[in-house]
Amino acid sequence: MDEEEILDNWNYQLSNHLIVNNIILVLYMVIGLFGNVLVIFIYIFKLKKKDDRYFIPVLATMDLVACSVGSAYALALNLLPAKFTSDIICKVLWYFSQATTISSGLLLVVIAVQRYLKVCKPLLTLTLRWKRIAIFLCFITSSIFSIPTLFFYGELQFPHPINSSVIGSRCGQIGRTDDLFRSSVITYTILEFLAAIAGCISFTVLYALIGKQIYKKFIIFRRTTTLRRRPLGKNNKPISTSTTDDGKNRASVDSIDIDIVSSVNNSQESIVDDNQPSQRKKRRSLDVLQENVSALKQHFHTHRYTYMFMAITLFFMITFTPRITLMVTESVDHNFWRNLVDQPKTIAVCLFFYRFYIFNHIINPFIYGFFDTTFKYEVKKLFCMTINARARDSEF
């Protein structure tokens, strides 16, 4: 058996251990393409242009590109684990994969700032001009920050574990051992890691402040709703109103607190009163439960876009963490992947987590459908129209 046949068999054996990964990547690609194209179409052509939805088509476009490039690139590496011989294609694919992921992360930071201003500082808003500038800066920053990958990644050669004369090649971090190159790779990876930490801190701080403000508004809304439904008595003061930052009326805090204390006292007295019919107590409990459920529904509807972007950001952080961890590992130990050549199952597990960030780009359309009821309605209407059109065509 000559060296070429040995190399082919070796490549075939390695790729066989990645069949499950390949199936997952194909699912990533199909679901990501279909879902994000659907999001872009509906949000641009079917829904009204609202401030809350402005960044969704842009984010969906980034997800579409990231999912397509990332899945196709990873699939090529899995099918050619020992025969990837194009250095230029490797560099280009790695660059675009890196740039699209970073741009998505930066856009999520911009969205978090927009949600913070909308909820906590309603007098300060991102104008259309600043939104466009922010999107442009996301693209430019991610494009510039990803340039070092053109020098750090490329075709990497490694020997056969048994026959050292057979040399395989794959796309990955270049295995140069000179001090300047290794220090540059480690420095870049550390910067990327610090940027990821800074992004996570920004998300946490901004959404914590948003959550605190939303909770305050929810408490005020629930108290106001309860007071409006209870008739005024001699011990109850009329509800005075004031205007919040977002221009909505609410009951004054002083009168609310007084009424809450009196309502608590009244509820305690009603519990102690043994002469009160049990049916009346149950009805009152049901009324309180219905009020709370109604308040929760109204609260969720009012802040659904904020919760939606919170969920998207959370998934981004969860799915990107394994990738950045493995990137730091392979930068510190440049023989990390080479040491796993004879452990195909371990490689398959590592590659799954290395590409797990793609899951973030395919889950977002489902998050839009869960939180944005109008988007979900348009999706159902679109599919019903398609099914009805096919049914009419079949009749003829």
Q: Which of 160-169, 222-231, 381-390 has the highest mean pLDDT?
A: 160-169
Lowest mean pLDDT among 89-103, 288-302, 349-363: 288-302
Residue written as tokens 């998050």? 367
Domain boundaries, the chain: 3-209+316-395, 214-300
> Which fold would CATH assign to domain 3-209+316-395?
Rhopdopsin 7-helix transmembrane proteins (1.20.1070)
Band (277; pLDDT cuts 50, 70, 90): low
pTM for the model: 0.77
Residue range 50-101, pLDDT digits in tens? 888 899 999 999 999 989 988 988 998 889 888 888 889 999 988 998 899 8
Q: Show the tokens assigned to 121.
A: 């500082």
Residue range 45-61, pLDDT digits in tens? 888 888 888 999 999 99
Q: What is the pLDDT of residue 181?
A: 86
**Cα gap 74→96, rounded to integer Å:** 12
| Alpha helices per DSSP H over the chain | 3-16, 19-45, 55-79, 87-120, 128-145, 149-152, 179-229, 253-272, 278-302, 304-332, 344-354, 358-371, 373-395
Q: What is the mean pLDDT of residues 34-50?
A: 90
* Pairing mode, strands 167-173 and 153-159: antiparallel
**Cα gap 99→153, rounded to integer Å:** 14
